[in-house]
A and B are shown apart, each in its own frame.
Chain A
Amino acid sequence: MALKRPPLRRRARRVLTVACLFCLAIAALSWLPAVTGSRNLGIGVSSVEWLRSHGGNPIVSQIENWYYQLNEPEKGGPALTSLPQVGVATAGTGTGGEGSGAAAYLPADVNPLIHPKLPGEGVWKKAGAAVGERPPVLLTTFRSDPEYPQFVAGVAWIDASRTELAYVPGLAEPPEPLEARGPGEVPSSMRKRLVATFNGGFPLETSNAGLIYRGKVKETMVNGIATVVGYRSGGFNLVRWESGTNVPANVWFAKQNLPPIIYEGKLNPNLSDGPEWGETVNNATRVWRSGLGIDAHGNLMYAAANYQTVESLAKVLQRAGAVRAIELDINEDWTSFISYRHPGGLEPSNLLPEMYRSPERYLSPDERDFFAVYLRKGQSW
């Protein structure tokens, strides 16, 4: 009997099905451990992260761009009548004047963009309870964009004279190999001095930038990129990196992320899209964004808000008083600023109530790297 084969179309489909099932099985071997670990992420977000870190970053970024373009907010809308309450008590003594002295410096309240001003808008509040006259962390909120009067930005100010900054690796970011990764959370031994935590920058794979951790290069540093630097002395700074690939002897950590968005008091003139801004959603796309700035006195300022472009985020930081600034991570899944009202990491509180991640986020192992702000040794709460 002559050999009778099924139609070519069906055989092609069968080959395709087998190829796909084979690829899916191999992919599942990598995907399953990524979504079933003891991480504090849902299966959806960890699947997207897995896809991003296994060659799928352009796909994820493209889909995100389409999603955010479809869900772009409309200008205008009803005016707000109140702002979310942040902090515990008004800082009160902020003058922002040079005469107040570096040790007792408190920032001036932020001049609101939209008038009439809402109660408490731009007024700094203490983040911690019973912190005395020199609070290490202050918080405020203000409406960030006159064209979108319902958007509220949250800003935190961190006193450089009272605090030190630590870079804490997450469980998966930065990726292996990494010496002394740690638990991916604020170490228990440090919680007594913990005053705040906030998200890091883009994953190394998408930021095209470098990282120094514990005085060693993990990823080659790139000149011209905005860099959060922590020194062996406990001090910190925010600089445009110009030290090449070497590690200066006094640097303990240095985390780079994209070009500076503010430098020497001026907005980066090239805040539109370009390859230097990493493989991620477009700069003009309105999405949750966060950034870190430094004021003229060397104090840190963190800002975050939903529906921000890179430019509008930079303007928020500039308005709050930042003279240099870096964009940190974006999207609701990664944007977190948490202050702790009492020593020991007690009563954690998100900077903005719309922040989606739990305020307990960095008190349990987290996927991504972050920064922790501690009181300097010998400083009382």
Chain B
Amino acid sequence: MRLPRNISPAAAERRSLLFDVVLGVLVGIFAIIIAAGIGVVGFFALLCVLAVIPWYLLDRRSDRRRRRDRRVNSG
């Protein structure tokens, strides 16, 4: 069975989100299996989350700035 190719942008976004979530959970399970213990996994996961949060915030700020610049240029 093939997935339909002609879908709306919102449906495409939902599909890629689902794919990424499933892949993320699989990566997590793999990490738990190969790590020395759940403590190590939790420790590094916490570090990663703490590193990713500023990355999200920076991206959000630059997106907002880009949108504002576009509005100013088009206005």
Contacts and interface: CB of A to CB of B under 8 A. Distances in A.
A binds B: yes
Mostly helix, strand, loop or mixed at chain A's interface? helix
A288 B14 CA distance: 56
Contact of B43 (A15, A17, A21, A56): A56
B24 to A, nearest CB: 3
A27 B45 contact: yes
Contact of A19 (B5, B31, B46, B55): B31
Contact of B39 (A18, A22, A55): A55
Nearest to B55: A13
A107 B12 CA distance: 83
7 contacts: A1-B6, A15-B27, A16-B52, A19-B24, A22-B28, A50-B39, A56-B36
Contacts of B32: 23, 26
A14 interface: yes
A232 interface: no
Contacts of B41: 23, 26-27
A266 interface: no
A2 B12 CA distance: 9
Nearest to B39: A54
Contacts of B52: 13, 16-17, 20
B36 A19 contact: no
Interface in B7-35: 7-9, 12-13, 15-17, 20-21, 23-25, 27-29, 31-32, 35
Interface string A39-63: 0000000000011111110010000
B39 A56 contact: yes
B48 interface: yes
Interface stretch (A3-11, A116-124, A253-261): A3-11
Contact of A6 (B13, B29, B45): B13
A38 interface: no
Given A1-B8, A55-B40, A19 B16 contact: no
A3 B4 CA distance: 10
Contact of B5 (A3, A23, A52): A3
B49 A17 contact: yes
A3 to B, nearest CB: 5
Contact of B20 (A11, A20, A24, A27): A11
Contacts of A28: 42
A131 B13 CA distance: 80
A68 interface: no
B37 to A, nearest CB: 2
A27 B46 CA distance: 10
A148 interface: no
Nearest to A18: B24
A62 to B, nearest CB: 12
A30 interface: yes
A23 B49 CA distance: 11
Contact of A56 (B12, B37, B49): B37
B39 A27 contact: yes
Contacts of B59: 10
